Amino acid sequence: MADQMNTEAWQLTMRKLAYDRKRGATELVVDAVDCLLEGIAQPGLYDPSLIRKTLTTLRYEHTSMAPILNLTAEICYWLDTQDQDLDRTALVNKMRRDIEKIRERYVTDNQQFQDKFRSLELTGPRFGFYSWSSTVALCMNALAGIPVGAKAFVGQSIPGGEGKKTAKMLAKLGWSTWLISDTHLADMAKAGKINTLILGCDAYDDTSFVNKIGSGALAALVKAAGQRVEIWTHESKRLNSSEIHELNLGKSEPEPPVSTGIAIPTPLFGTGSLSDIDVIRTPEKDHTPESLREQTISRPSPLPDYLKLENRPG
């Protein structure tokens, strides 16, 4: 009975994470890992099929989050390839050690980023920002100082309007900040009036990246004008080659309602080409698009068929 209660409590906690729509991917991943570590420490809870089923639910409830995809793929692959005839205690201990290594990667990322950005010198003086990124906010807070004469131009980022949050953050840090329309920012980019565009990133592979819709077009305009584009993100958001299609970036354009004949699609995510990016900064190292194509992803495990988007239940 105690084992059953422990299992039910653990499943409830994991379900709450699966249906959490407020927090970001990295925070959810750390909580999921903590829950796994707590769960497998309890008597009777090491059940590969139960863990696999629970992680599959987590994956399919957060289909736009690359860190969730990487975490579930890594642990499910581990479960699928272990010799289940081994002593249960040995399996649990091995799983605990491996999951603790995964957790360490995530919790040390932010500190590494802060340490790195304390000595970073940005190329300005006119900087462009778009949408909101907790990673960009973290790094901007870590900068040793504001570049001389720096000006920040922040696109409102419609739909959603997250640019306002970014503008407030920059103004609070002492930046001279302008919150402008997305079309105004695009015009500035095309005219070469943005020296460095700084973007966050929800996912990337060796050829493309995912971010708020419009980011890809904005990056292309800045690059075409001969200026600089940077992405600040985490290694946990990197996917295997051509794996971005495993993320659900939103529904296709809806059909116009019969009553008005006008459809108003509001996709949130879009893709861009890494060929328009000068550098991808992560806690571990800075990448160029060329170097990414030559490197092996940190998650060598393939994506199990039952985690592929095409096999999503319903």
Distance (Å, rounded) from C-alpha 229 to C-alpha 197?
Answer: 5
Beta bridge partners of 232: 281
pLDDT of 40 above 70 = yes
Tell me what pLDDT residue 297 has: 65
**With contact defined as beta carbons under 8 Å apart, do 218 and 186 qualify?**
yes
Give domain 116-299's CATH superfamily.
Answer: Translation initiation factor eif-2b; domain 2 (3.40.50.10470)
| Half-sphere exposure for 9 (CA within 13 Å, toward CB) | 13
Distance (Å, rounded) from C-alpha 176 to C-alpha 252?
Answer: 38
pLDDT of 313 above 60 = yes
| Block residue for tokens 């861009």 | 272
Length of the chain: 314
pLDDT of 298 above 70 = no
Give the β-pairing of 279-281 and 286-287.
antiparallel
The whole model's pTM is what? 0.87
Tell me what pLDDT residue 2 has: 44
Domain ranges of the chain: 2-114, 116-299
The structural architecture, per CATH, of the domain 2-114 is: Up-down Bundle (1.20)
Distance (Å, rounded) from C-alpha 156 to C-alpha 154?
Answer: 6
Per-residue pLDDT reduced to its tens digit, 105-152: 887 888 888 899 998 989 889 999 999 998 999 999 999 889 989 999
Distance (Å, rounded) from C-alpha 164 to C-alpha 179?
Answer: 7
Give whole-number Cα distances, 145 to 25, 173, 311, in Å.
29, 9, 49
